[in-house]
């Protein structure tokens, strides 16, 4: 994966490429680890007693017949062999951290940006140029991420964040130090910024009194913190977050469309996470996840899990192209992006975006290169950065899912995936020469058919195909 840097722009100080790292567990067999277990049926005293022979049960998720426990790594085979156990694995790491580094309650009429222009949500130039009538009104989007920075009210309208449902989960991991716990007050204490940047693509954001457009500006975001302040976490935390949103959909939000965005991933599908995904989808939750930033090394999970809508990252050949006056700083909002049918000439797949290996399911692509949004490197100092990664691509599709769910409140996960795939604009394998950042340096990026899924999402066509 490549990391790009750039000099300060009018509203952005730097690009930080994003990536995921996956490390093999090399712990000795006598070391205690957290093990995530999915049972074959309901959690019973007998099932818990059989597990207790090999360690200490630390938590349960009854909705998905899930159990967390501390056990020796060497006993994992014996746990898996129990008749009551459907699947078991060590708690797996999840990462959503970018690598190196409001007066407006509604940004519907906010300034168009290149990335929203490319997927046909807005037109260029300027403010008030929305193409599609849907705004996400009445839809909840749960952002499972690092939570929000304490300054979130400056960037987003206060009524756009569903604070009554916001929460955090902590714990997990292979240290053998305890179970996953719910930490309701930590969701707005993030010092990482990843979740705030992701949220800004969905809702839009405020820059010193100027509204910047979002994909679904009237949706309500539910921050669910499942990654810690260094941008990493464990699959048990993610599973707990997914289950929590599934419970919301089954309970207080049963009459509202609910979308989950997961700009995170790891190298393997965790059993507890899979069960949570299946549970949430069964409740009617729509789920979108980033494909991962491992290039040819393959996709991350849960994005690669077939029922999930997975998103690759694409860019645009107009990035950093100077305007008529030679200014390279205005391109992100002042340049007109040619959409369908010119995407095959003007778009590219980023080199870091994960390619689909055999058995992995890559669905669509969306803008994930040079995406501007709020991101603070100094606490207490408001700032805006360009970030690049499939983490930035996924919320474009989650926002589009919210628009589709506004139009069809009964939209299912299978219908969402099929419609997005059928209406995506194909991007044939190829190469592009692009500017590397401000200045004149160029680079060539190339991609094959394993990098694009069904193509780049198109809001107009996806909504037209939604009943």
Domain 15-21+95-464 has CATH 3.40.50.200: yes
**pLDDT for position 173:** 67
Please tell me which residue, 115 or 25, carries the higher pLDDT value: 115
Q: 106 falls in which pLDDT band (50, 70, 90)?
A: confident
Cα(238)–Cα(225) distance, rounded to whole angstroms?
9
How are beta strands 205-207 and 371-374 bridged, if at all?
A: unpaired
Please tell me which residue, 156 or 175, carries the higher pLDDT value: 156
Nearest to 263 by CA among 320, 296, 221: 221
Percent of the residues in the chain that have a pLDDT greater than 90, as a whole number: 78
Q: Which of 102, 200, 353, 391 is catalytic?
A: 391
Q: 14 falls in which pLDDT band (50, 70, 90)?
A: very low
Mean pLDDT of 213-239: 96
pLDDT of 228 above 60: yes
150 part of the active site: no
pLDDT of 27 above 70: no
262 and 289 Cβ atoms separated by less than 8 Å: yes
Q: Which of 91, 102, 106, 194 is catalytic?
A: 194
Q: 128 falls in which pLDDT band (50, 70, 90)?
A: confident
CATH number for region 32-91: 3.30.70.80
Average per-residue pLDDT for the chain: 90
pLDDT tens figures, 178-213: 578 898 889 999 999 999 999 999 999 999 889 999
**pLDDT for position 20:** 23
Structure pTM? 0.88
Residue at token pair 């790491």: 93
Which helix (H) or strand (E) is 400 found in, with range? helix 390-407
Q: State the burial class of residue 338 (Cβ atoms within 10 Å of its Cβ: 0-12, 13-18, 19+).
A: middle
List the domain boundaries for the chain.
Answer: 15-21+95-464, 32-91
Mean pLDDT of 102-111: 88
pLDDT of 396 above 90: yes
CA dihedral for 180, 182, 186, 190, sign (positive or negative) = positive
CA dihedral for 285, 142, 135, 306, sign (positive or negative) = negative
104 Cβ neighbours under 8 A, 6+ residues apart: 110, 157, 204, 206, 211
The dihedral formed by the CA atoms of 194, 343, 404 and 467, expressed in degrees to the nearest 10: -170
Upstream peptide bond of 319 is cis (omega within 30 degrees of 0): no
Mean pLDDT of 64-77: 95
Q: Which of 75, 120, 145, 190 is catalytic?
A: 145
pLDDT of 22 above 80: no
pLDDT tens figures, 298-331: 999 999 999 999 999 999 999 999 988 889 989 9
Q: 241 falls in which pLDDT band (50, 70, 90)?
A: very high
391 part of the active site: yes
Mean pLDDT of 116-137: 91
* Structure tokens given for 169: 């989960």
194 part of the active site: yes
Residue at token pair 């994003």: 18
Same fold, 15-21+95-464 and 32-91: no
Q: 56 falls in which pLDDT band (50, 70, 90)?
A: very high
56 forms beta bridges with: 70
């Amino acid at each position: 994966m490549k990391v790009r840097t750039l000099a300060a722009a009018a509203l952005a100080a730097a690009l930080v490429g994003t990536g995921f790292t996956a490390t093999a567990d090399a712990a000795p067999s006598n070391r205690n680890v957290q093990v995530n277990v999915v049972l074959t049926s309901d959690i019973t005293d007998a099932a818990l007693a059989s597990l207790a022979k090999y360690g200490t049960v630390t938590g349960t998720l009854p909705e998905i017949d899930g159990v967390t426990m501390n056990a020796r790594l060497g006993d994992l085979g014996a746990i898996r062999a129990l008749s009551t156990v459907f699947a078991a694995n060590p708690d797996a790491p999840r990462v959503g951290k970018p690598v190196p580094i409001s007066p407006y309650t509604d940004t519907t009429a906010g300034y168009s940006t290149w990335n929203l222009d490319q997927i046909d949500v807005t037109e260029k130039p300027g403010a008030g140029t929305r193409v599609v009538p849907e705004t996400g009104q009445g839809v909840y989007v749960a952002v499972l991420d690092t939570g929000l920075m304490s300054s979130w009210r400056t960037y987003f309208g206060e009524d756009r964040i569903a604070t009554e449902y916001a929460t955090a989960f902590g714990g997990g991991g292979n240290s053998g130090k305890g179970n996953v716990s719910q930490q309701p007050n930590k969701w707005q204490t993030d010092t990482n910024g990843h979740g705030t940047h992701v949220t800004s693509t969905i809702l839009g954001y405020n820059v010193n009194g100027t509204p910047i457009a979002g994909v679904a500006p009237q949706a309500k975001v539910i921050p669910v913190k499942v990654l810690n302040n260094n941008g990493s976490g464990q699959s048990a935390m993610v599973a707990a977050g997914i289950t929590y949103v599934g419970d919301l959909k089954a309970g207080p939000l049963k009459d509202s469309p609910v979308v989950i965005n997961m700009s995170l991933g790891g190298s393997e599908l965790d059993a507890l996470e899979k069960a949570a995904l299946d549970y949430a989808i069964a409740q009617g939750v729509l789920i979108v996840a980033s494909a991962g930033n491992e290039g040819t090394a393959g996709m991350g999970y849960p994005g690669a899990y077939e029922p999930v809508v997975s998103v690759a990252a694409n860019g645009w050949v107009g990035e950093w192209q100077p305007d008529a006056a030679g200014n390279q700083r205005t391109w992100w909002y002042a340049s007109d992006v040619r959409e369908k049918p010119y995407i095959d000439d003007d778009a590219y797949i980023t080199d870091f975006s994960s390619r689909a290996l055999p058995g992995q399911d890559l669905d669509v692509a969306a803008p994930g290169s040079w995406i501007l949004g709020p991101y603070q490197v100094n606490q207490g100092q408001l700032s805006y950065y360009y970030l690049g990664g499939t983490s930035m691509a996924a919320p474009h599709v989650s926002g589009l899912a919210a628009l589709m769910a506004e139009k069809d409140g009964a939209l299912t996960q299978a219908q969402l995936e099929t419609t997005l795939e059928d209406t995506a604009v194909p991007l044939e394998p190829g190469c592009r020469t692009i500017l590397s950042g401000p200045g004149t340096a160029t680079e060539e990026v190339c991609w094959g058919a394993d990098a694009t899924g069904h193509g780049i999402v198109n809001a107009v066509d996806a909504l037209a195909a939604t009943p």
